[in-house]
Structure 1
Amino acid sequence: MAKSMALNSAAGLAGMLKAGHKHMEGVDGATLRNIEAAKGLATIVRSSLGPNGMNKLVINHLEKIIVTSDCATIVKELEIQHPAAKMLELAAEMQEQECGDATNLTVSFAGELLKLCEDLLRMGLHTSEIVMGYKKAYEFLEKTLPTLVVENMEDTRNEAELIRICSPVLAAKQYGYEHILAPLVAKACMQTMRKGGRASVTTDSVRIAKIIGGNINQSECIAGMVIMRGTEGSIQHAKGKVAVFACGVEASATEAKGTVLMKNADDLMSYNKSEEKKMDEIIKSIADAGTKILISGGTVSEMAMHFIERYGMMCIKITSKWDLRRICSATNASALVRLGPPTPDEMGYCESCDVREFGVRKLCVFAQSPDAGQGCTVSTIILRASTSSVLNDLERAVDDGVNCISTLCQNGSLLPGGGATEIELSQRIKAYGDSCPGLEQYAIRSFAKALEFVPRTLAENSGQEPTDILAALQAAHANGKSNVGVDIDGGGNGTKEIGPECRDLFAAKDSAFRLSVDATLTVLRVDQIIMSKPAGGGKQ
C-alpha cells in the first residue's frame, strides 16, 4: 500500500500513469495530429468518388488482394490504428449499415471539414467557436436539404423506376456495367416484395452467387435459392414437398458407450440386417409423407443414400447453417433436428428443383414463382466474371444497389445528383454565414466551402479542370438554376442540367451529412490523447 501511494509529484503525469504510456495535448500535440490523420484517410478514399473514381489495391493481413473503389471496404481492410481516423471509419461503417451507400461522401466530407479547421485554428479561432459554427451550419443544412427535393417516388413497385434510381448507385462502383446490373437488382428486389401494402425489401432476401468464368453479360436473376453444389444422388430434377433436416441422414450413435459381443458370422449378418431394416423404415416413412426433395444439414451415409434412391427422392447436402436457414425461408419449411417423418406443417414446397451447369460448376436451383402460392421470399443474382477480384467488386456494387432500393422503399424523396445538391447547399450556407455575427461566421463559411469538394472531386476524377467547372456551377446556381451539376462525360463547359436519370437518395445523403458532422465534432472536441502501453509484449 505504501509503495503504491509513493507518487512522485515532480514527475507530473508520467509519475501517475503506467510506464510506457503516450500522452499528447494541446492544439499542436492533439488537435492538429488528429486532423492530419483524418485528412490522410479522406485523401485515400476521395479519389474513388463518383463513376470515374479510381480503384484501390489493398493487401490485408491475410495477404488477400482486394481491388475496389468501395469506401466502406477500403477503410475496413486498412486496419486503421489512429483513434481520430478510427472515428471516420466508424462513421463509414454506420453509413454502410444504415443506407449501404454514400460511405465515400461520409469520410471525404468529414476529412474536408477537418482540413478547413486547420486553417481556422491557425487564424486564431478557438475550437469551441469552430464547433459552434459547424453546429449552426449543420442545423441550417438540415432545414434546407428537404427544400431541394425534386422528386418523390410513390410507386416503388415500378421496375423501370427502380432501374432508373439504382443505376447511378451501380455506376458509381461499376461504371459502364450499370445497364446490365440495374435490371438484375431491380428484378431481384421486385420478386421478394410482399404482395399488398407498402413495398419493402430486406437485404437478406437477395442472395448473390458468384461463379468464376464467362463474363458479366451472362449474369442472371433467379426467383428462388441457388445452392453452390450438385445433388448427392442420381436424381437431377424434382418438384413437390421438401423436408429439411438440420442433422445428418445416418444411423444415430447412442449417447451411452456400449459393446456388442458377436460370437459368429450369423450374429454379424443379423446385426447388419437389423440396422438396414431400421434405416429402410425411416427413409420409407419420410417418402410416405410425400417428400420429393430431402435436404440434409450433415452427412448422408451410403446406406441412407441407397434407400433415398430406391424411394425416388432428390437428396441435397447443405453444410452451411446460414444457407440452411435461407432454404427454409425460400421453401417455407422447418429444419428438423430429428431423423423421422416430417408433419405437413414442417414440410415446405418447391415448384422446381434442378441441377444446372454454369461453366464447369453444377448448382442446385430451387425456383419459385413470385406470383403463385406463397410467392418468393428469396431471390438470387448469379454473377459471372473472369476473376475473383472482379466478382467480389461486382458483389459489393450489387449489395449497394439492393440497399438503395431498400432505402427507397422507406423514403422515396430524391435529390439532384452530380454535385448539384452540394453546390446549392454551399451557396445557401455561405449566404447564411454572411448574415451571422461573431467569429462563428468563419466556421460557417468553411462548412459551406467544404461542400464544394463533391463537384470539385467529380471534375478531377473525370479529368476536367475543377476550378473552371466550380466557377461555372456557382454562376449557374447564383442565377437560380439549382439542378445544374457536373457533366462527367465532359460535354460543353463541363456542367449540365441534371435530369431524372441521375438522382441521389435523400435519406442516404441526409445520413451521410449527419454522420460526417458528428465524427468531425467528436474529433475536434479532443484536446488530449492518452494511450496506454499495448498489451502482449514487444512486437516482432
Structure 2
Amino acid sequence: MAFGGYGVQGMLKDGHKLLSGLDEAVLKNIEACKQLSKITRSSLGPNGMNKMVINHLDKLFVTSDAATIVNELEVAHPAAKLLVLAGKAQQEEIGDGTNLVVTLAGELLQGAEDLIRSGLHPSEILAGYNKACQKVLEYLEALVEPGSDKIDVRNKDDVAKRMTAAVASKQYGQEDILCPLIAEACIQVAPKNPANFNVDNVRVAKIVGGSIYDSNVVQGMVIKRDAEGTIKRAEKAKIAVFGGGLDTSATETKGTVLIESAAQLEGYTKSEEDKMEALIKAIADSGAKVVVSGQAVGEVAMHFCERYKLMVLKILSKFELRRFCRATNSTSLVQVGKPEADELGYADIVEAQEIGGQRVTIVRNETGGNHIATVVVRASTDNIADDIERAIEDGVNAYKAMGKDPRLVAGAGATEIELAKRLREYGRKETGLDQYAIHKFADSLEVVPRTLSENAGLNATDIISGLYAAHARGEHKAGINVDEGTIQDLTTKSVWDLYATKYWAIRLAADAVVTVLRVDQIIMAKQAGGPKKPEAGGMDED
C-alpha cells in the first residue's frame, strides 16, 4: 500500500486540512470570535439595537437578547463556538449576562491580538490574563454593596427594584410595568427555601391585542384553548386527569361480529354506550367536576359528560399536561375509570374566557398553595410579545439568582470602570511581560461603559474620561445616565447589577479566551458523506 506525500500530508487521510502557527490558527480564531462579539455588542444595555435573525425554519426573531441571537445564528466556526458555549453556560447558570460574556471575550481577544502582533507569545498573555482575572474577581467582591445580602424575597417592592436592570436591558421604558408583574408571579410560587425556586413555575401566556398595560398575573394556569362542551365554568372543583384520552377503546385482537337483525345492531351499540356511561358516572360520583383529557375526547364520552354536568378540557401537549397536574396537585391516570380521592386535583375556579378575541381557559387557585403562576402578556404583534417574554424570563432568572446570592454591585458601567482602575494600579506594580496583558484586561473592561454610551448616541471618549475622573475622586458608584448623557450615582434610581451575574460573566469570558488562545493548530478531517445535493435550479433542463 503506497502513501503519497511527505510529512503531515503522508500521515493523514486525503482531504484533511491543517492550519497551524500564529497567522493561520491563532489569529484566524481570534478574528472569528471578534466577528461574533461585534454582532452582540451593539445589543448591549438599555439602548441596545435589535437584530433580525431568520433561522433555518424561516422563523423570524427580532430581539436584542444575546442568548437568542447566539442560539439562532448556528455558528459553524469551532473557535467562535467556544464563545457560544460560554454564553450558554452563563444563560444556564444565571439566565442573564450572556451579552456581557461574548462582548468581553471578544474585547479580550482583540487585546490579545494586539499583543501577539507586538511580539508577545500567547503563553505570556495567558499568564497575564489568568492573574488579571483572579485579581478582578477579588476586587469585585470588595465592591459588593454592604447590607445587600439581606433581602426579603417576598417583599414585592424590594424584588422589583433588584430586577429592574435585567428587565430594562431588554425592554427599556417598560420595566416599571413589567417588574412588579414578574415580582408578584415569582413571590406567589416561591418555595419556603428561595434557593430551590424553579423558573419553570412562572409561565407566560402571550395574547395578541391590547397593550402591555393590559398584562396581568393569574394565580394558576392559562390554557390557550376553550373548554370542549357547553359547561364553561366550575367553582371549588375537583379535577380528574386522564392522559390517554376519553374514548371507547378498540380491542387489541381483530374480530368479526355477525349481526343478523336490527335489534342486535341496536343492542351492540347500546352495550358500548352503557359501558361509557358507567365510566363517566363513576367519575362524576367520585366528586369530580372537571375532566381533563390528554388526547381525543370521543363524541359518546362528550355526550355523557354533558349529561353528568362535567366540564371537559383538552390539553394535547404532554408538557402542559404535566404542568397542569403540578398546578392542581392531580395525578394523570392512564385508564378511564373512577379516580381515587388522592388522585383528584383541586382548583378554586376553572373558567373559559375570551381575551383579545382568543378563547382561553383559566385555572385559578386563589386560596394559596399554588405551584404555578402565569403572566398574561398583551402586545400588538407576535414579535413584540416574544421579546417581552424574553424580558420576563430574564426577570424570573434574576429572582432565582437573588434566592441563591442576593448581593449587589453598582450598575450602569460603574463597576467595570472601578475594576479597570484598580486593575491598572495593580498592573503598574507588576514586573515582566505579564503587565502588558494585565493592562489589556483592564482596557477590555472599558467595553461595557463604552458600548453603553455608544448605543445611547453619546460621545464614548468623553464619557470614559469623565467616569475615570469621578472614580479617581472616590465616587466608585458613578455610572452613565444614558437618558441625560451625564455621569452620576445611579444606584439611587435602583440601577444595580447582581454580583453573581458579573462574577460568572467575567469568569466564563476569561475561561473562553484562555481556551481559544491555547489553540495553535486546527486539524480538520474530510467531511463524511457522499456528493452534495445540487442547488435548486443548478441543473440544466433539456
TM bucket normalised to smaller: over 0.9
CA contact (8 A) 1:59 1:65 kept: yes
Is residue 249 of structure 1 aligned with residue 246 of structure 2? yes
In structure 2, the residue matched to 1:212 is: 208
Give the AA of the match of 1:221.
Answer: V
**Does 1:49 find its partner at 2:32?**
no
Distance 1:473 1:153 in 2: 29
Deviation at 1:490, TM superposition (A): 2.5
> Could you report, residue by residue, the CA deviation over 1:191-243 in whole angstroms, capped at 9, with x for unpaired residues?
1013x454653110000111111211111110001110001100011021000
What amino acid maps onto 1:377 in structure 2? Answer: H
The residue that corresponds to 1:65 in the other structure is 60
Q: Which residue of 2 aligns with 1:488?
A: 482
- Residue 426 of structure 2 is matched in structure 1 by 432
Deviation, structure 1 residue 15: 2.3
**Secondary structure of 2:501 counterpart:** helix
Name 2:355's counterpart in structure 1.
358
Task: Give, in whole Å, the separation in 1 of the partners of 2:136 and 2:279.
Answer: 67
Query: In structure 2, what is the Cα distance between the partners aligned to 1:226 and 1:487?
Result: 39
Matches within 5 A, 1:84-233: 84-150=79-145, 151-194=148-191, 196-198=192-194, 200-233=196-229
Structure 1 residue identity aligned to 2:473: N
1:83 aligns with 2:78: yes
Per-residue CA deviation, residues 239-259 of structure 1 (Å, 9 max, x unaligned), is 210000001101111212221
SS at match of 2:336: coil
The answer to whether 1:533 aligns with 2:526 is yes
Contact 2:220 2:370 in 1 (8 A): yes
Q: In the aligned structure 1, how far is the partner of 2:89 from the partner of 2:383?
A: 25
Q: Aligned residue for 1:507? A: 500
Matched, 1:291 2:288: yes
Deviation string for 1:40-67 (max 9, x for gaps)?
0101110000000000011111221110
Which of the numbers 270, 278, 299 marks the counterpart of 2:267? Answer: 270
Q: Which residue of 2 aligns with 1:443?
A: 437
1:381 aligned onto 2:378: no
Write the distance in 2 (CA, Å) between the matches of 1:215 and 1:317: 29
SS at match of 1:268: helix
Shift in Å, 1:465:
0.5
Match of 1:409 in 2: 403
Map Cα deviations across residues 60-89 of structure 1 (whole Å, 9 max, x no partner): 112211100000111111111111111111
Contact 1:84 1:523 in 2 (8 A): yes
SS of corresponding position for 2:14: coil
The answer to whether 1:314 aligns with 2:277 is: no
Contact in 1 for aligned 2:151/2:158 (Cα 8 Å): no
Number of equivalences: 529
Q: 1:254 to 1:270 in 2, by over 3 A?
A: same
TM-score of the pair, normalised by structure 2: 0.96
The answer (yes or no) to whether the contact 1:193–1:199 under 8 Å persists in 2 is no
Map of 1:460 onto structure 2:
454
What's the RMSD between the two structures over aligned residues? 1.2
The separation in 2 between residues aligned to 1:405 and 1:144, in whole angstroms, is 25
- From 386, 393, 415, the counterpart of 2:387: 393
Deviation, structure 1 residue 471: 0.4
Mapping 1:361-372, distance limit 5 Å:
361-369=358-366, 371-372=367-368
Q: 1:526 to 1:197 in 2, by over 3 A?
A: closer
1:234-291 Cα deviation digits (max 9, x unpaired): 0011021000000110111121222111122111110001001000100000000000
Compute the displacement of 1:180 (Å): 1.2
* Alignment partner, residue 234 of structure 1: 230
Shift of 1:364: 0.4
Contact 2:225 2:359 survives alignment (8 Å)? yes
Once residues 409 and 262 of structure 2 are traced to their aligned partners in structure 1, the CA distance between those partners, rounded to angstroms, is: 82
> What's 2:490 paired with?
498
- Corresponding residue to 1:23 among 18, 23, 32: 18
Paired AA for residue 94 in structure 1? A
For 1:52 and 1:350, how far apart are their aligned partners in 2? 43
2: CA distance, partners of 1:528 / 1:256: 63
Does the CA-based 8 Å contact 1:153-1:412 persist in structure 2? yes
- Give secondary structure in 1 for the equivalent of 2:335: coil
* SS of structure 2 residue aligned to 1:504: strand
Counting only pairs closer than 5 Å after superposition, residues 469-488 of structure 1 correspond to structure 2 as: 469-488=463-482
The 2-side partners of 1:534 and 1:325 are apart by 42
Letter of the 1:85 counterpart: A
Give the distance between the partners of 1:199 and 1:368, measured in 2 at CA: 24
Q: Which residue of 2 aligns with 1:280?
A: 277
Q: 1:244–1:335: 8 Å Cα contact kept in structure 2?
A: yes
SS of equivalent residue, structure 1 residue 349: strand
- The answer as to whether partners of 1:156 and 1:199 remain within 8 angstroms in 2 is no
Q: Name the SS for the 1:356 alignment partner.
A: strand
Equivalence for 1:523: 516
Per the TM alignment, residue 352 of structure 1 is displaced from its structure 2 partner at its CA by: 0.4
Give unpaired runs (5+ residues) of structure 1: none
**Alpha-carbon contact 2:195-2:400 (below 8 Å) kept:** no
Alpha-carbon separation, structure 2, partners of 1:201 and 1:214: 31
Shift of 1:11: 2.8
For 2:297, the aligned partner's letter is V
Higher deviation after alignment, 35-44 or 252-261: 252-261
* Residue type at the aligned position of 1:528: Q
Matched residue SS, 1:482: coil
Cα displacement (A) at 1:498: 2.3
Work out whether residues 157 and 199 of structure 1, in 8 Å CA contact, stay in contact via their aligned partners in 2. Answer: no
The CA distance in 1 between the partners of 2:107 and 2:499, in whole Å, is 21
Counterparts of 1:306 and 1:149, CA distance in 2 = 64
Displacement, 1:18?
2.1
- Where 1:300 maps in the other structure, the secondary structure is coil
SS in 1 for 2:163: helix
Measured in 2, the distance between the counterparts of 1:352 and 1:199 equals 30
**Corresponding residue for residue 539 of structure 2:** none
CA contact (8 A) 1:226 1:365 kept: yes
Match of 1:419 among 373, 394, 413: 413
Could you tell me the percent identity over the aligned residues?
50
2:161 & 2:195 partners in 1: Cα distance? Answer: 17
Q: TM-score, normalised by structure 1?
A: 0.96
Secondary structure in structure 2 of the residue aligned to 1:304? helix
Q: Which 4+ runs in 1 deviate beyond 6 A?
A: none
- Aligned counterparts of 2:441 and 2:3: Cα–Cα separation in 1: 46
